[in-house]
C-alpha cells in the first residue's frame, strides 16, 4: 500500500491544483485496489444507488460491485403494522392512488426511505441515483424526489431506467433486455445506447407474482399432508395459513425449475414422465409433514409459455412477446437481436429458463418461417448465478462512479424548489432531437 | 397510569435492613453467594440458584412471582463451567421469567414468561416483550425492544427510558405497603 | 417501560401535528417547540455491530463495507454463531437451528476469526469497464471544457494522430483530452446450459433455499453452499431540530453509553399527565376521571388546563371549567409556600404532583377520548440562553402550549 499512498497524494494534489485531473494520474488509475482506495478517501462522497423493486430493494454505494444490502420492500411502521410493497408503490396505480391524499403516500415513501437508511449508509450530502422501471408514474417519481431532497437532505437525485443500466456491465452495444420482475415483465431492445422505447413489450402475466399464484394452485391440487398417525390427506385452510406464515409459497417459487416443452406436455396430459428430474420434497410443519410432489416444482412456469393455461388475460406468452419485438425492429437489427439477450430480474435466476426460451423461440420462428432464431445466445456471468437479482443495480453503480455525468444529470434541492423536475427518458429524447 | 397501592400480608414477608422485601415462600438457595443491593422486592416462588455461582442483583429491582435465575455456564476446553450472573439496578422482571443470562444491565424491563438463553447479555434500557425466547449467547445493544422467538431487535425504546424506569420502580417500591399501615390512598 | 406506566394512553401533539407519547417527544430549547423523531432531522453519528458492540465512525464503516469483521451469523436463521473447539480447532455452531460450519464444507480453523466469505468474481472485469467508461466520459466532456478556452478557430492539431512526432506540447494536450481508447472487449453472450446440466450443478441440500437466505448472500450461487454471513453494522442516531439546527439528543461516546451529552426530552419541559385510576363509565351520566400532573422540570410552572370542545365524534364532552394551578418543581422542598386549595377539581397535592378530577359525559360509541389544552409559563430556565444566564425575563414571559388527548377507554 506504500506506493498506493504516494499515488493517492499525487492525485489529491492534482485535484486541488487544476480543474481537471492531470494526464499522469488518469493513466495511473489501473489497479483495482487503488481505485477502491480512491473512491473511499476522495473528497466528494460516492453516490448512493437504490433500485426499488416490487419485491426487493437493492441499495449500495457507487463504484462497488455488490449491493451493500438487499432488503424486502416492506417495513413495520410505528404502530407495529407491516406496510408492504403495494402500499409503497401505490402511486404507480392511478386507481389506488386516488383513494387517499398524496401526502399519505408521500409519508409512506419517506418512512420507508428512513427505514432503509437507519440500517446502513448515512445519506446526507451524497448524490442519489434511483434505478426505476421505465413506466414509473410521474407522481411516484415526484414523491421520491421530494422525500430524498427535502427529508433526507441528499445532495442531488437522478433517475436511470433499468434497461439501459443492465447493458453497462456487459459493455455491449446492442442487446434485447428482458426484465422479469415480481409485478410485471418489460422487454425492450437497447441499441448503441439508445433505448428503443417504441419497440417495447410488457406483460403482467409474466411475473413472480403469477408464479407464486400458480404454485399455490398446484399445491392445492397436488399437495398432501402426512399426519402423525400416518394418515394422508389433502390441504385445507389451516394448512395454508401455516404455509403462508412460513412464506413457503415464495420458497417453492424460487426453487422451481423450468422444464422442456416435451416434458411439460407429458405433465399436462396427466401422466408422469419416465425420467425423474426432481424427487418429491417433504417439508416439516408443526408436527405434520407437507409432501410437495415434483409436479408442483416443475410446472409453475408453464404459464409463461402456454397460452391455454390463462384464458382471462390478453397478455402474450413470453416467446410471442420476444418474437413481436423482433418483428417491430428495423430490418437490419432483426437477425442479430436474438443472439444478444440480457435477462434480469429475480425470476430469471430460475434453472432451465434460458434453454426453454431458446427452444420456444426456435419453434416459433420455424412456424413463421423466419430466420431470427438461428443462434440464440444470452449474456450471463456463469460464475455469478444470482446476477440477475441486482443486474440493473450493478450497471447504475458503474454509471455512478462517473462524477461529472452524474452531476450534470441530477437535480439538487435548489433546482427542485425552483420547479424543475427530475430528468427522465422523455427529456433525453426531446433534447437529442 | 399511576401504579396503585399494593398491600401485602406482613406475616408472609421479611424485610432486611437494606430495605429488601422478600416473600417467605421463595425458592432461593445458596444465599451466601447472593448479594442484593437494596430496596428490592422478591415475590413468592422466585428461585435464585446461588449454589451454582455468585449472583449479584442491584438496587430497586422487582422480581415478580415465578421467576427463575440460574447462572449460565460456558464451555472451556469441552468442560462446562458456571459463570457469575450480574443484574443491574432498577430491573423489573414480570411473572414467570426464566433467566439464564450472564448479564442483565440496568433499567431493563423483562416481560412475562420470557426465556433468556444461556449466556446472553441484555444491555441498558432495553425491554423484552412477553413470551419472547432469546437464543443463547446473544448480545443486545442498549435501547432495544426485543421480541419474538428466536428473539430479534424489533424496535427502539424511547431515549428517556432511564428516567421512566427509575420513576416506575421507585413508585412501585413506595406503594408496596403492609396491609395495616396508614398510607393515604390517593398518591 | 412505557408499557408499565401505560403512557400510551396519553398523547401529546407534536409541532408537525401528530399525536405521540410524551416519552417519544423532544423539546427544542431555542424555538420552544415540541419535536418528534419524524419532523426532526435524524442523523447517524456512529455505526456499531449489534453483536460485538464494536464502534466505528461513518468513514471507517464505509471502508469496512458496513460489515463487522469479527462476528458472523448463521445463514439459515440469522442468529449469532457460537464457537466450539475440537482437537484445538474451532468450528461454529448455531444454537437455534444447529447449523454448523462443517455442513458448509468449511474446515475447522485455528483461530476463531476470519471465516471465509464469498468474493465477487466479476470485480476485476467491472473495474476495467469502469475505467473504460471514465475515459469515454472524458472524451465526451472534453469539447465542452475546451469551448470555454480560447482555441484558435479552425485548424486544431488535437484531432490529428501523432504521426510525425511534432510538438510534444500538442501531443500532451491531446492525450489529456482524448486518451487512447483501446476498445474494451464485450463480454460475449453465451449459449444457455441445458436443464440437466443446470440441475447437476445445483447445490443439493436437505432444505429448499429461501428468499431471505439468498438476499443475505447474493454472491452464493445456487451451486455453492451457504457460508456464515458477516453481521451488518447498525446506525446510532442523534436528533437535531430541523428549524434551528440545534442538536436535541446526542449520546455519549461509546456504543454502550446510555447517558447523553445533550438531551432535551419533552418530559423535562412539559408537564406529564397520567391517568391515576381506571375510569368507571356510567352510561349517559357524568363520569369522572382522575388525572395526575407531574412537573418533572427544573422550574415551577404556572399552568392553565382547559378541556377542549367536542370537535370529533370520539371526543367526550367535558363539563369541568378551566383550572389555573401552579406546580412547584421537584427540587423545591418548599411546599409550604403553595396554597392548599380545595376545590372540586383539585383532589390532592404532593411535592410536584397534583391530582385533578375531570367530569365528562361518555359517548355513544366505544371510544372515549378527552382533549385538553395546556398553557404554561416557566421561570425562564427552559430557554437555551438561560444556561448562559441571559434574558430570563424574555423567556419567562413566553406562554408554552401543548395539546393532549387522553384515552379513557381500555
User: In whole angstroms, what is the distance from residue A291 CA to residue A226 CA?
Assistant: 7
Residues of A in contact with C176 (CB under 8 A): 20, 22-23
More confident residue, A198 or B43: B43
Q: Which residue has the higher pLDDT, B18 or C360?
A: B18
Q: Is the pLDDT of residue A383 over 70?
A: yes
In angstroms, the CA A129 to CA A171 distance is 20
| Residue C360, C-alpha cell as written in the block | 365528562
Element (H, E) at C124: helix C123-148
Edge-to-edge, what's the strand order for the sheet holding B121-122? B34-38, B55-59, B85-87, B103-104, B121-122, B139-140
The predicted model gives C35-42 an average pLDDT of 81
Q: Cα–Cα distance between A224 and A234 in angstroms, integer?
A: 5
What pTM was estimated for this model as a whole? Answer: 0.81
Q: pLDDT tens digits for C168-215?
A: 776 677 666 666 667 777 777 888 878 887 777 777 777 888 888 888
Percentage, residues of chain C above pLDDT 70: 82
Mean pLDDT of C89-95: 83
DSSP H or E segment with residue C318: strand C317-318
Half-sphere exposure of B36 (CA within 13 A, CB side): 23
C-alpha cell at C9: 394512553
- How far is residue A388's CA from residue A378's CA, in Å, rounded to a whole number? 12
Residue A425, pLDDT above cutoff 70: no
Q: Output A399 or A314, whichever has higher pLDDT.
A: A399
- Does pLDDT of C6 surpass 50? yes
Instruction: Work out the mean pLDDT of chain C and round it to a whole number.
Output: 78
Comparing CA positions, the residue from C116, C137, C303 lying closest to residue C227 is C116
Choose among C186, C204, C125: nearest CA to A384. Answer: C125
Q: What is the mean pLDDT of residues A391-415?
A: 84
Q: What is the pLDDT of residue A37?
A: 39
- Write down the pLDDT at residue C129: 86
Q: How many C-beta neighbours within 10 Å does residue A397 have?
A: 30
Check whether A360 has a pLDDT greater than 60: yes
Grid cell digits, residue A246? 412460513
- Chain B CB contacts of C92 under 8 Å are none
Mean of the per-residue pLDDT values for chain B?
Answer: 87
Query: Are A70 and A389 within 8 A, CB to CB?
Result: yes
The predicted pLDDT at position C109 comes to 74
Closest partner residue to C195 (CB to CB) among A26, A72, A260 is A260
A411-412/A156-161 β-pairing: antiparallel
Q: Is the dihedral of CA B185, C3, C6, C11 positive or negative?
A: positive
Q: Which helix (H) or strand (E) holds C69?
A: strand C67-73
Instruction: Give the closest of C6, C48, C259 to B1, CB-based.
Output: C6
Q: Which residues of C126-157 are buried (b: 16+ CB within 10 A; e: fewer)?
A: bbebbbbbbbebbeebbeeeeeeeeeeeeeee
pLDDT exceeds cutoff 50 at B173: yes
Residue C155 is predicted with a pLDDT of 55
- Asked whether the beta carbons of residue B159 and residue C249 sit closer than 8 angstroms, the reply is yes
Cell of A362: 426456435
pLDDT tens per residue across span A304-337: 888 888 777 778 888 888 888 888 888 888 888 8
CA pair distance A94, A73, nearest whole angstrom: 20
How many other C-beta atoms are found inside a 10 Å radius of the C-beta of residue A258? 23
pLDDT digits (tens, 9 = 90+) for C98-134: 888 888 777 777 776 778 888 888 888 888 888 888 8
ipTM: 0.81
Q: What is the pLDDT of residues C248-286, one digit of tens each?
A: 777 777 777 888 888 888 888 888 888 888 887 777 778
Kindly give, in sequence order, each residue whose CB lies less than 8 Å from that of residue B116, ignoring residues fewer than 6 positions away: B97, B98, B99, B100, B101, B104, B110, B122, B128, B134
Neighbours of chain C (3+ CB pairs under 8 A): A, B
A361-370, C90-99, C103-112, C212-221, range with the lowest pLDDT = C103-112
Tell me how crowded residue A176 is: count the other CB atoms within 10 A of its CB: 27
Calpha distance A369→A364 (Å, rounded): 8
Task: State yes or no: pLDDT of C229 exceeds 80.
Answer: yes
Residue C40: per-residue pLDDT: 82
C-alpha cell belonging to residue C406? 387522553
Cell numbers at A299, concatenated: 410446472
Backbone angles phi, psi at A317, to 5 degrees: -80, 170
**What DSSP line would sit under A229-287, residue for residue?**
TS-EE---HHHHHHHHHTTHHHHHHHT-B---HHHHHHHHTT---SS--S--EEEEETT
- pLDDT per position as a tens digit, A88-128: 888 887 777 788 888 888 888 888 888 887 765 666 678 88
Q: Chain C within 8 Å of B140 (Cβ-Cβ)?
A: yes
Please, are residues B181 and C47 in contact by the beta-carbon 8 Å criterion? no
Burial class (CB in 10 A: 0-12, 13-18, 19+), B6: exposed
Test mutation, C258, C272, C352, chain B, max B CBs within 10 A: C258
Cis bond leading into B150, ω under 30°?
A: yes
Angle between helices A318-328 and A353-368 (to 10 degrees): 60
Write down the pLDDT at residue A96.
78
Which is higher by pLDDT, C340 or B94?
B94
Contact A157, A422 (CB under 8 A): yes
Query: Computed over its alpha carbons, how large is the radius of gyration of chain B?
Result: 16
Mean pLDDT is lowest, of A340-349, A401-410, A416-425, C153-162, for C153-162
Q: Is the pLDDT of residue A430 over 50?
A: no
- Cβ-contact C242, C39 below 8 angstroms: yes
Is C6–B117 a contact, with Cβ atoms under 8 angstroms apart? Answer: no
Residue B130 pLDDT:
92
Long-range contacts (CB closer than 8 Å, 24 or more residues apart) made by A404-411: A404/C137, A404/C141, A405/C137, A405/C140, A406/A47, A406/A62, A406/A127, A406/A129, A406/A156, A406/A158, A407/A127, A407/A156, A409/A158, A410/A127, A410/A128, A410/A129, A410/A156, A410/A157, A410/A158, A411/A145, A411/A149, A411/A156, A411/A157, A411/A158
- pLDDT confidence bin for C151, thresholds 50/70/90: low
By Cβ distance, the residue of C24, C84, C355 closest to B158 is C24
Ramachandran assignment for A302, one of left (phi > 0), alpha (psi -120 to 50 degrees), beta (any other): alpha
pLDDT at C166: 60
Neighbours of chain B (3+ CB pairs under 8 A): C
CB contact under 8 A, C95 and B135: yes
Q: Is A17 exposed, middle or buried (0-12, 13-18, 19+ CB in 10 A)?
A: exposed
CA distance C194 to C26: 62
> Cβ A389–C62 below 8 Å, yes or no?
no
Query: What pLDDT is recorded for position B181?
Result: 67
Question: Of the candidates A259, A377, A401, which has its C-beta nearest C189's C-beta?
Answer: A377
**What is the model's pLDDT at position B133?**
92
Q: Which of C21, C23, C355 sits opposite B186 (nearest CB)?
A: C355
pLDDT tens by residue, B40-86: 999 989 999 988 889 999 999 999 999 999 998 887 767 788 889 99
Give which of C218, C225, C226, C234 to mutate to test A binding, by max A Cβ within 10 Å: C218
* Per-window interface: A 339-398 vs C, CB < 8 A: 339-341, 349, 351-352, 354-358, 376-387, 389-390, 394, 398
Q: Cell numbers of C78, please?
A: 440469522
DSSP, residue by residue, C209-271: PPHHHHHH-TTS-TTSPPPPEEEEEEEEEEEE-TTT--EEEEEPSSTT--SEEEE-BGGGTSP
pLDDT at B97: 92
Q: Once rounded to an integer, what is the mean pLDDT over residues A404-425?
A: 76
Inform me whether the pLDDT recorded for B109 exceeds 90.
yes
* CB-based contact A79:A161 (threshold 8 Å): no
pLDDT number for residue A1: 41
Contact B137 C267 (CB under 8 A): no
Return the pLDDT at C395: 57
Reference C82, options C97, C98, C94; nearest CA is C94
Report how far residue A100's alpha carbon sits from residue A83's, in angstroms, rounded to the nearest whole number.
15
Q: What percent of chain B has pLDDT over 70?
A: 95
Tell me the CATH number for domain A34-169+388-432.
Answer: 3.30.420.40
pLDDT band, residue A32 (cuts 50/70/90): very low
Per-residue confidence band for A14, with pLDDT thresholds at 50, 70 and 90: very low
Q: Which of A234-238, A424-428, B37-41, C180-184 has the lowest mean pLDDT?
A: A424-428
Kindly report, as residue ranges, where domains of CATH 3.30.420.40 are found in chain A: 34-169+388-432
**B28 near B46, Cβ under 8 Å?**
yes
Mean pLDDT of C89-94: 83
Amino acid at each position: 500500500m506504500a506506493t498506493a499512498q504516494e499515488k493517492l497524494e499525487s492525485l489529491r494534489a492534482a485535484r486541488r491544483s487544476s480543474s481537471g485531473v492531470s494526464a499522469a494520474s488518469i493513466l495511473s488509475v489501473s489497479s483495482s485496489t487503488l481505485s477502491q482506495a480512491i473512491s473511499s478517501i476522495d473528497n466528494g462522497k460516492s453516490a448512493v444507488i437504490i433500485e426499488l423493486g416490487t419485491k426487493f430493494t437493492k441499495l449500495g454505494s457507487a463504484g462497488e460491485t455488490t449491493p451493500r444490502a438487499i432488503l424486502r420492500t416492506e417495513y413495520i411502521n410505528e404502530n407495529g403494522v407491516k406496510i408492504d410493497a403495494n402500499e409503497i408503490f401505490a402511486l404507480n396505480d392511478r386507481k389506488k392512488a386516488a383513494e387517499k391524499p398524496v401526502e399519505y403516500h408521500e409519508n409512506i415513501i419517506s418512512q420507508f426511505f428512513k427505514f432503509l437508511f437507519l440500517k446502513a449508509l448515512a445519506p446526507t450530502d451524497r448524490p442519489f441515483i434511483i434505478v426505476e422501471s421505465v413506466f414509473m408514474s410521474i407522481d411516484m417519481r415526484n414523491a421520491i424526489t421530494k422525500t430524498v431532497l427535502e427529508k433526507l437532505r441528499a445532495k442531488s437525485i437522478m433517475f436511470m431506467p433499468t434497461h439501459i443500466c443492465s447493458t453497462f456491465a456487459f459493455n455491449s452495444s446492442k442487446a434485447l433486455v428482458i426484465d422479469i420482475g415480481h409485478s410485471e415483465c418489460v422487454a425492450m431492445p437497447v441499441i448503441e445506447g439508445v433505448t428503443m422505447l417504441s419497440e417495447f413489450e410488457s406483460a403482467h402475466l409474466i411475473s413472480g407474482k403469477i408464479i407464486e399464484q400458480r404454485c399455490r394452485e398446484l399445491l392445492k391440487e397436488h399437495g398432501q399432508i402426512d399426519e402423525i398417525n400416518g394418515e394422508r390427506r389433502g390441504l385445507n385452510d389451516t394448512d395454508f395459513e401455516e404455509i403462508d406464515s412460513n412464506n413457503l409459497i415464495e420458497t417453492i417459487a424460487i426453487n422451481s425449475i423450468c422444464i422442456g416443452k416435451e416434458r411439460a406436455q407429458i405433465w399436462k396430459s396427466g401422466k408422469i414422465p419416465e425420467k425423474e428430474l426432481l424427487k418429491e420434497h417433504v417439508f416439516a410443519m408443526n408436527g405434520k409433514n407437507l409432501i410437495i410432489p415434483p409436479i408442483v416444482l416443475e410446472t409453475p412456469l408453464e404459464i409463461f409459455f402456454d397460452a391455454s393455461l390463462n384464458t382471462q388475460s390478453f397478455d402474450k406468452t413470453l416467446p410471442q412477446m420476444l418474437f413481436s419485438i423482433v418483428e417491430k425492429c428495423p430490418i437490419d437489427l432483426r437477425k442479430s437481436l436474438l443472439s444478444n439477450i440480457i435477462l434480469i430480474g429475480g425470476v430469471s435466476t430460475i434453472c432451465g429458463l434460458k434453454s426453454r426460451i431458446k427452444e420456444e423461440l426456435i419453434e416459433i420462428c420455424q412456424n413463421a418461417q423466419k430466420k431470427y432464431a438461428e443462434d440464440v445466445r444470452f449474456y450471463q456471468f456463469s460464475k455469478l448465478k444470482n446476477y440477475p437479482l441486482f443486474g440493473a443495480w450493478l450497471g447504475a453503480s458503474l454509471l455512478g462512479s462517473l462524477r461529472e455525468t452524474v452531476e450534470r444529470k441530477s437535480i439538487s434541492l435548489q433546482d427542485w424548489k425552483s420547479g424543475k423536475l427530475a430528468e427522465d427518458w422523455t427529456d433525453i429524447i426531446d433534447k437529442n432531437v | 397510569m399511576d401504579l396503585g397501592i399494593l398491600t401485602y400480608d406482613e406475616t408472609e414477608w421479611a424485610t432486611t435492613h437494606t430495605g429488601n422485601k422478600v416473600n417467605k415462600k421463595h425458592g432461593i438457595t445458596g444465599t451466601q453467594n447472593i448479594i442484593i443491593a437494596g430496596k428490592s422486592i422478591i415475590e413468592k416462588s422466585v428461585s435464585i440458584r446461588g449454589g451454582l455461582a455468585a449472583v449479584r442483583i442491584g438496587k430497586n429491582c422487582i422480581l415478580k412471582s415465578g421467576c427463575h435465575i440460574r447462572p449460565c455456564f460456558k464451555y472451556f476446553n469441552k468442560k462446562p463451567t458456571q459463570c457469575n450472573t450480574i443484574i443491574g439496578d432498577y430491573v423489573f422482571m414480570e411473572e414467570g421469567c426464566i433467566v439464564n443470562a450472564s448479564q442483565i444491565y440496568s433499567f431493563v424491563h423483562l416481560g412475562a414468561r420470557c426465556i433468556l438463553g444461556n449466556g446472553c447479555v441484555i444491555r441498558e434500557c432495553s425491554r423484552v416483550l412477553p413470551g419472547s425466547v432469546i437464543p443463547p449467547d446473544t448480545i443486545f445493544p442498549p435501547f432495544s425492544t426485543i421480541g419474538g422467538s428466536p428473539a430479534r431487535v424489533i424496535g427502539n425504546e424511547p431515549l428517556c427510558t432511564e428516567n421512566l424506569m427509575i420513576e416506575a420502580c421507585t413508585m412501585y417500591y413506595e406503594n408496596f405497603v403492609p396491609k395495616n399501615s396508614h398510607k393515604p390512598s390517593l398518591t | 417501560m412505557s408499557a408499565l406506566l401505560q403512557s400510551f394512553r396519553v398523547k401529546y401533539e407534536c409541532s408537525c401535528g401528530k399525536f405521540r407519547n410524551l416519552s417519544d417527544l423532544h423539546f427544542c430549547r431555542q424555538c420552544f417547540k415540541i419535536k418528534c423523531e419524524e419532523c426532526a432531522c435524524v442523523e447517524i453519528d456512529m455505526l456499531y455491530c449489534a453483536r460485538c458492540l464494536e464502534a466505528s465512525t461513518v468513514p471507517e464503516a464505509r471502508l469496512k463495507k458496513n460489515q463487522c469483521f469479527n462476528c458472523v451469523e448463521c445463514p439459515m436463521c440469522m442468529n449469532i454463531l457460537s464457537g466450539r473447539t475440537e482437537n484445538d480447532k474451532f468450528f461454529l455452531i448455531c444454537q437455534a437451528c444447529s447449523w454448523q460450519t462443517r455442513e458448509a464444507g468449511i474446515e475447522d480453523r485455528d483461530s476463531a476469526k476470519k471465516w471465509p466469505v464469498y468474493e465477487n468474481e466479476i470485480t476485476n472485469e467491472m473495474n476495467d469497464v469502469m475505467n473504460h467508461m471514465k475515459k469515454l466520459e472524458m472524451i465526451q466532456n472534453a469539447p465542452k471544457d475546451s469551448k470555454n478556452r480560447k482555441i484558435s478557430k479552425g485548424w486544431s492539431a488535437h484531432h490529428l494522430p501523432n504521426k510525425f512526432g511534432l510538438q510534444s506540447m500538442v501531443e500532451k494536450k491531446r492525450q489529456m483530452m482524448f486518451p487512447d481508447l483501446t476498445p474494451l472487449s464485450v463480454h460475449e453472450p453465451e449459449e444457455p446450459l441445458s436443464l440437466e446440466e443446470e440441475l447437476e450443478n445445483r447445490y443439493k441440500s436437505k432444505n429448499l433455499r429461501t428468499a431471505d437466505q439468498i438476499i443475505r448472500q447474493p454472491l452464493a450461487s445456487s451451486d455453492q453452499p451457504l457460508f456464515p454471513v458477516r453481521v451488518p453494522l447498525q446506525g446510532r442516531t442523534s436528533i437535531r431540530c430541523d428549524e434551528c439546527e440545534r442538536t436535541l439528543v446526542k449520546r455519549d461516546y461509546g456504543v454502550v453509553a446510555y447517558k447523553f451529552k445533550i438531551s432535551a426530552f419533552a418530559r423535562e419541559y412539559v408537564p406529564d399527565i397520567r391517568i391515576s385510576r381506571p375510569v368507571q363509565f356510567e352510561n349517559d351520566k357524568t363520569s369522572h376521571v382522575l388525572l395526575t400532573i407531574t412537573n418533572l422540570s427544573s422550574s415551577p410552572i404556572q399552568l392553565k388546563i382547559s378541556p377542549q370542545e367536542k370537535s370529533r365524534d370520539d371526543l367526550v364532552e367535558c363539563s369541568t371549567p378551566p383550572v389555573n394551578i401552579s406546580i412547584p418543581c421537584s427540587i423545591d422542598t418548599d411546599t409550604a409556600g403553595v396554597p392548599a386549595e380545595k376545590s372540586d377539581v383539585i383532589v390532592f397535592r404532593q411535592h410536584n404532583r397534583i391530582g385533578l378530577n375531570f367530569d365528562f359525559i361518555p359517548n355513544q360509541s366505544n371510544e372515549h377520548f378527552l382533549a385538553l389544552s395546556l398553557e404554561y409559563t416557566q421561570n425562564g430556565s427552559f430557554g437555551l440562553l438561560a444556561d448562559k444566564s441571559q434574558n430570563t425575563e424574555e423567556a419567562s414571559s413566553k406562554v408554552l402550549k401543548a395539546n393532549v388527548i387522553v384515552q379513557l377507554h381500555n
